[in-house]
Amino acid sequence: MTSPDPSTPPNPADNPIGVPHADLQGAVNLFRFRPERLSVSALEFDSTCSFRMGDKVYEDLQVVDVSGTGLGLQSKAPLDLDEQAIVEEVRFRHRGRVVWTGEAMVVYPQNGNQLRFGIRFLGAPLSLQEIRFRDDFVEQRLGHALERLRSYEDILPAEWRAGVTHLHQLLLEAKILLDSQQASDTDGRWHEPDRSWRLCEAFMERWGPEFRRVTEELDAMTESFDDRQVELGLMYSQGIIMQEFTHCEMMRRAYEKPQGYAGDYRMMELGQTDVLEGDTLYHRFLHFLSQHFSLGQTIQARAWNAQEAAAEVIAEDKPVRILCLASGPGVELRRLIRDTVEFKHPVEILLVDQDEDSLRSCLDQLNRVCGERGDNPPVEFHCLHFSLRQIIAPKRGAEQELVKTVLSGVDLIYSMGLFDYLLQPLAKRTVSSLFKLLNPGGRLLIGNLMRVPDSTWIMEYGVAWHLVYRTEEEMLDLGAEISPAAVSVGRDKTGHCLFFDARRGKE
C-alpha cells in the first residue's frame, strides 16, 4: 500500500465523517495576529505620554510605538511598575496635542536594564487613521502647502500672479457662456462636428485676443525670473490653469505624459485632427484652443513641409526609400498616400520611433489609407522600434547590422519634432549620424519650433511642455560637421518653425 503524500491535504470526500482536526494544517510557518503598530520613526513625530499611579505622576515618557490598543513607552530611568498594574490619567500627546486619555494596564513591565515597557488601554481604542491624518496630511502635506503658498506671495510678483488668475477667470467665463449655449441647444445640434467647430471658431474670434494679450504679458514678465521664481511660477500657474485644461485630452496628455514624455503620437494626432473631441461644447473649445495657439498652428503647418519633401522625392524617376525619424502618428504620410495620384516606382517607408504604441497606431492608419485607395500602390512600410541612441551609437552586433543594412541608403530622412527635445551637442551629433545614412543626392530635413510668446508661456507654465527652441544661427550650426553638403535654413508658412535642409552631394 502506498503511503499518502504528506504534502497533499486530506480530501473530505474520502472521509464521510469529516477530516479530524489533528490532520488539518495551518500556515507552514508560525503566524500570530498582532494589532497594527506604528513606529514613531515611521510617523516622523515625537510623542510623549504621562500618567499617574497612586501618588506618583510620571511625565514626558517617550512613545516608542503606537497601536490602537496601547503604547510602547520608554523612560529615562527604571520605574517601579508591576505587570497588570493600573495607571490612571493617561495622556498620550501627539505633536503637543492630547489625542487619548483614560486608564491603562501595564502589560510588559521593565526588566533589568530594559527601560522599555508597554501599556494597554482600558478605555476606547485609539484611531491610527487619525494619527496618520494628523502626521501626514495636517503636519506634513498641509504644512508644506502653506509654506509654498507663503513663498508664492513673498517671491512671485503680485502683477504676475494677477495675470495668471486673469487667465483662469477667462477660462471660467468661457465655460459659463459655452455651457449656457449648450443648454439652450435643445436639439443637441452642437454635437455635430461641423457645428461645434463653427461655434468654437466664432467664440475664439472674440475671446482669443484677450487670452493672447495676457499670455504675452506674462511671458514678458517671466523673462526676468531667477531660478527660484521659475520653479515657484511653474507650480503656481500649473496648479491653477490645469484645473481647466485637464478637460482637454491634448493638454492633459502634455501635463500627465502617459507615454513618458510630452508630444507623444496621440497629442500630435489631436493637434492635427479636423474633429474636436470633448463631452461638452466647452471641452471641445479647449481642444480648438490648443490647436489655435500660434505653435498649435505651426505643428499642423510643418507637417505639410514634410509631406512636400516626401512628394518631391517620390516624383523622381526611380525607386526611393524614406526614413521618418520619431514618426509619431504619420499624419503627413497618410495625406501623401491619399493625395498621390500615381506611384510610378516602388516606395519604401521606414518608420522609426521609440514608442511601440506610436508605431502600431501609425502603421494601422497607413495600411487603412492604402486599402482605401483600392489600387494596391507599390508602397512598403517597415517599423523599427529604435531609440536615438541606437541610431547614433549602435552596439556591436544586431544594432550595428540593422543600421548598416536597413537604415542606410535612404533618399530622404525627415524629423519634425524630435529635435525640439535635443540640446545642441546631441543634436549636432545626430545630424552627422543621419547624414551618413543618405544616398548620394539624398536630403535631410529637420524641423525645430521657435519661441513664440503666446504659445511658449502657456506650454511651459500651463501644461509643463518644455521644448528646446532654436534660432536660425543655431539651426545652421547643426550642420557644421557634415560635408559635402548644401545646407540651408527655411521656415514653414506660419514663420514659427525653422527647417534645417541639407542635401548630400552626388558622387
Condensed to tens digits (0 to 9), the pLDDT of residues 359-418 reads 999 999 999 999 999 898 999 999 999 999 999 999 989 999 999 999 999 999 999 999
DSSP letter for 203, please.
Answer: H
pTM comes to: 0.78
Integer Cα distance of 43 and 62 in angstroms: 14
Residue 328, amino acid: G
Integer Cα distance of 225 and 347 in angstroms: 51
Is it the case that residue 30 has pLDDT exceeding 50?
no
Q: What is the mean pLDDT of residues 71-75?
A: 94
What confidence score (pLDDT) does residue 186 get?
94
Is it the case that residue 487 has pLDDT exceeding 50?
yes
Is it the case that residue 4 has pLDDT exceeding 50?
no
CB burial string 297-310: b at 16+ within 10 A, e below: bbbbbbbebbbebb
What confidence score (pLDDT) does residue 169 get?
98
Mention every residue, 6+ apart, whose C-beta is less than 8 A from residue 267.
250, 253, 254
What confidence score (pLDDT) does residue 42 get?
59
Domain positions in the chain are: 37-129, 153-292, 296-504
Integer Cα distance of 484 and 281 in angstroms: 54
Cell output for 368: 487603412
Is it the case that residue 29 has pLDDT exceeding 80?
no
Q: What is the mean pLDDT of residues 40-57?
A: 81
What confidence score (pLDDT) does residue 46 get?
74
pLDDT band at 332, cuts 50/70/90? very high
User: Using an 8 Å Cβ cutoff, are 322 and 410 in contact?
Assistant: yes
What confidence score (pLDDT) does residue 408 get?
94
What confidence score (pLDDT) does residue 418 get?
95
What confidence score (pLDDT) does residue 20 get?
54
User: Using an 8 Å Cβ cutoff, are 83 and 45 in contact?
Assistant: no
User: Using an 8 Å Cβ cutoff, are 270 and 249 in contact?
Assistant: yes
> Around 170, how many Cα atoms within 13 Å sit in the side-chain half-sphere?
23
What confidence score (pLDDT) does residue 353 get?
95
Fold agreement (37-129, 296-504): no
Q: Can you tell me which residue has the cell 501599556? A: 119
What confidence score (pLDDT) does residue 22 get?
53
What confidence score (pLDDT) does residue 3 get?
45
Task: Give the gyration radius of the chain's Cα atoms.
Answer: 34
Q: What is the mean pLDDT of residues 120-128?
A: 91
pLDDT band at 24, cuts 50/70/90? low
Q: Which of 133-137, 142-146, 268-272, 437-441 has the lowest mean pLDDT?
A: 133-137
CATH code: domain 296-504 is 3.40.50.150
Residue 17, amino acid: I
Q: Which of 29-43, 125-139, 386-400 has the lowest mean pLDDT?
A: 29-43
Compute the mean pLDDT over every residue in the chain, rounded to the nearest whole number.
Answer: 90
Q: What is the mean pLDDT of residues 274-293?
A: 97
pLDDT band at 13, cuts 50/70/90? very low
Strand partners, 104: 87, 121
Q: What is the mean pLDDT of residues 298-323?
A: 96
Specify the fold of 37-129.
Thrombin, subunit H (2.40.10)
> Phi and psi of 375, rounded to 5°?
-115, 10
Q: Which has more confidence, 212 or 143?
A: 212
Strand partners, 97: 94
Is it the case that residue 278 has pLDDT exceeding 60?
yes
What confidence score (pLDDT) does residue 112 get?
82
Q: Which has more confidence, 40 or 241?
A: 241
Q: Which has more confidence, 102 or 134?
A: 102
Q: What is the mean pLDDT of residues 481-499?
A: 92
User: Using an 8 Å Cβ cutoff, are 352 and 386 in contact?
Assistant: yes
Q: What is the mean pLDDT of residues 262-282?
A: 95
Is it the case that residue 7 has pLDDT exceeding 70?
no
